[in-house]
Amino acid sequence: PRMLSTSRPGAAPKGGFCFENSRRNAVLEGNLAEKGFSAPKARKTGTTIAGLVFKDGVILGADTRATDDMVVADKNCMKIHYIAPNIYCCGAGVAADAEVTTQMMSSNVELHSLNTGRPPMVAMVTRQLKQMLFRYQGHIGSSLIIGGVDVTGPQLYSVYPHGSYDKLPFLTMGSGAASAISVFEDRYKPNMELQEAKTLVRDAIAAGIFCDLGSGSNVDLCVIMEAGVQHLRGYDQPAQKTPLEGNYKYKPGTTAVLSETVRPLTVDVVEESVQHVDMQ
Amino acid sequence: PPHWSPGTTIMAVEFDGGVVMGADSRTTTGAYIANRVTDKLTPIHERIFCCRSGSAADTQAIADSVTYQLGFHSIELDEPPQVQTAANLFKEMCYRYREELMAGIIVAGWDKRRGGQVYTVPVGGMMTRQPVSVGGSGSTYIYGYVDSNYRTGMSREECLQFTAKALSLAMERDGSSGGVVRLAVISEQGVDRQVILGNQLPRFSAA
């Protein structure tokens, strides 16, 4: 059984994004603005994501904080998304956009792989992504770092919301990009060993966590090599909560009770009906 | 979004037997350099390249589309395409979608009919052939240098020097052009690409 859109029962789902609610949202926003309120903003991840190419493959790193303006909405969200067994993708920008875009890519890549009978290539994922994002002219706010190892070797691409891409040996994106890139610019060398590379990516993300307000919590790493993938969720927790200094509990009786009133609520049965449900 | 116009210098020069193309390597998002080693010289066909300035997303998408169209056309023709054809394809797209696009492109290459050719397709979608063409916002600083130093009949080496110097001057003055200088020479023999790193660039002032 498939879920069909209720507006046109019987019509097959067309696939891709659905903009049915855009008009409703515009009207709602107008109504809210009249009363002096503002509509809720799309949640941006306020992120630090990074990737680098080392001797045997690619390492992707990300922080795990998702923010809603100035409030942390998720302390441990996953920003490294699966695309294919040998290709992973970090997402920054609007959380929902990054999530859905990468899921779509994952499906497309699997279909393409089945059609061609070949394992997927990183350049192919990049091309599909940038063509889709360009088509939406930047309205899909996802900035992505795609990394993977395929028959042509380890590769790293960045894709921006408007659809441009760059192929580089090391990359950072998100609000913490400036902090993280400084670590890479200082210490990156081509053909690093695995442990050195992992430490470098961890340090770059940590720089973002400490120096950028929109990034925080843990460091997630994803090591992709020809031999396989290690998805290291919670590889490091650089900014742990310190124990509370004082005791904030109060003994019962600290606040004096001046008076007490009990009002029982009586509930009457107004209507009773029985519906017969067919159970298969 | 990654934007090249307030941070690009591109150039192409015709010589007898081919063309020399050059570009800086900076892509910026606002004041942050997203890519300091960008390759703005994009192959469209075996002996036809384009230099891109303006919006990175727009120019990459246009170049991909033209590459596809030209490749298809070349297979149908069963011979290498003309540079003029490539320039025309760019012009068609840049003019038709001029309201939506931000792209300034220089198309250059070699074909056996007309030899080395440079065509410029600036923002707005006009297309014209020029022996020397400069583009991007860094170009404004070197019009004087280019106009006074260009001579017809320069050799391949002289054109390379001329392009490298012009780009260095622009990168020196245009605070947001920078990085390395990428050069490409296209001739009957094929394409020869070079990179001049920052410390090897020609220097002009004592400071």
Asked whether residue B2 carries a pLDDT value surpassing 70, the answer given is no
ipTM score of complex: 0.85
Q: What is the mean pLDDT of chain B?
A: 93
Predicted local distance difference test score (pLDDT) of residue A244: 79
Q: B residues 19-48 near A, CB within 8 Å?
A: 27, 29, 32, 34-35, 37-38
Interface check B1 vs A, CB under 8 A: yes
Give the A:B interface size as CB pairs under 8 Å.
44
Question: How many angstroms from the chain centroid is the CA of residue A116?
Answer: 29
Average pLDDT over residues A226-242: 85
A177 chain-B contacts, CB cut-off 8 A: 32
Q: State pLDDT tens for residues B52-66.
A: 999 999 999 999 999
Interface check B123 vs A, CB under 8 A: no
Asked whether residue A4 carries a pLDDT value surpassing 60, the answer given is no
Residue B15 CA neighbour count, 13 Å, CB half: 21
Q: State pLDDT tens for residues B118-175.
A: 999 999 999 999 999 999 989 999 999 999 999 999 999 999 999 999 999 999 998 7
A152/chain B closest Cα distance in angstroms: 20
Out of A69-73, A99-103, A125-129, least confident range? A69-73
Predicted local distance difference test score (pLDDT) of residue A10: 53
Asked whether residue B48 carries a pLDDT value surpassing 90, the answer given is yes
Nearest CA in chain B to A161: B1
Q: State pLDDT tens for residues B19-35.
A: 999 999 998 888 888 89
Predicted local distance difference test score (pLDDT) of residue B29: 83
Average pLDDT over residues A106-110: 94
pLDDT tier, A15 (very low <50, low <70, confident <90, very high otherwise): low
Predicted local distance difference test score (pLDDT) of residue A5: 43
Residue A243 near residue A91 (C-beta atoms within 8 A)? no
pLDDT tier, A238 (very low <50, low <70, confident <90, very high otherwise): confident
What whole-number percentage of chain A has pLDDT above 90?
A: 56
Asked whether residue B4 carries a pLDDT value surpassing 80, the answer given is no
pLDDT tier, A96 (very low <50, low <70, confident <90, very high otherwise): confident
Contact call for A165 and B32, based on CB within 8 A: no
A157 chain-B contacts, CB cut-off 8 A: none
Q: Which two tokens stand for residue A216?
A: 């925080």
Q: State pLDDT tens for residues A151-199.
A: 999 999 999 999 999 999 999 999 999 999 999 999 999 999 999 999 9
A163 chain-B contacts, CB cut-off 8 A: 57, 60-61
d(CA A164, CA B55): 8
pLDDT tier, A90 (very low <50, low <70, confident <90, very high otherwise): very high
Contact call for A166 and B55, based on CB within 8 A: no
Residue A269's beta-bridge partner residues? none
Nearest to B57 among A134, A158, A178 (CB): A134
pLDDT tier, A40 (very low <50, low <70, confident <90, very high otherwise): low
Interface check B60 vs A, CB under 8 A: yes
Predicted local distance difference test score (pLDDT) of residue A247: 82
Q: State pLDDT tens for residues B7-21.
A: 699 999 999 999 999
Burial tier of A119 (Cβ tally within 10 Å: 0-12, 13-18, 19+): middle
Asked whether residue A114 carries a pLDDT value surpassing 50, the answer given is yes
Asked whether residue A39 carries a pLDDT value surpassing 70, the answer given is no
A161 chain-B contacts, CB cut-off 8 A: 1
**Active-site residue flag, B9:** no
Nearest CA in chain A to B57: A164
Asked whether residue B45 carries a pLDDT value surpassing 70, the answer given is yes
A239/chain B closest Cα distance in angstroms: 27
Contact call for A166 and B1, based on CB within 8 A: no
